[in-house]
Amino acid sequence: MKLEHDLRLQLVRVIGGVPMVKCKSVVCFVVFILMFSWFMDACFAVDKAVADEALIDAENDLVSTYVAVEEAEQVGANASELLAKLKFAGNLLADAYNAHRVGDYDKACSYAMNCSDRVKGIASEAAGLELEAEKAYSERLFATAAVSSAGLSLLLVLSLFGWRILKRRYFKRILGMKPEVGKAE
């Protein structure tokens, strides 16, 4: 009977209508979340070496993409949109270097990785534009060669007909002349 009475007393103890056991678990959960958020930065912190590597990778990606866009532009592709995207990626890399210089390696690494992500699709777009420009160039070259060939052929045919007409006129004029005969001595 006494045991049953003690159990009832423990079950009845409440703080604000919530049993004491539930309050302890809620408090433990809140403390755990606060501790986790406090130590989370230490667990996922980026050191200088990782940030340096991310900056180097981002710069290499940006340079290689810029070279691909430049090659596409030299072929004759309209790369103005790609250059605008590269400018944005360059700004991200500049922000990464600024954050690195200040010592905020997490932000520097984040900006560098964002820059690398931005330029990955640009290189393939540049390659596609380059292929389109080369195809358009070869089509223009073929059209120019075809029109030139047709023009030269027409000129040759017209020249032959013109020569025949001029030759006939010349012979008619020559044959229509009366030769003068001179006295023989």
CA angle 173, 178, 180 (to 5 degrees): 135
Convert the pLDDT of each residue in 9-37 to its tens digit: 555 554 445 555 556 776 766 666 666 55
| pLDDT tens readout for residues 49-72 | 888 898 999 999 999 999 988 888
* Averaged pLDDT score across all residues of the chain: 80
What is the per-residue pLDDT across 125-136, written as a single tens digit (0 to 9) for each? 888 888 888 888
- Spell out the domains of the chain, with CATH numbers in brackets: 44-133 (1.20.140)
CA distance 137 to 157: 30
Give the number of other Cβ atoms within 10 Å of residue 59's Cβ.
Answer: 17
How many whole angstroms separate alpha carbon 113 and alpha carbon 96? 9
Model pTM above 0.75: no
Give the pLDDT confidence of 142-151 residue by residue, as tens digits: 999 999 999 9
Short-list 111, 64, 56, 67, CA closest to 89: 111
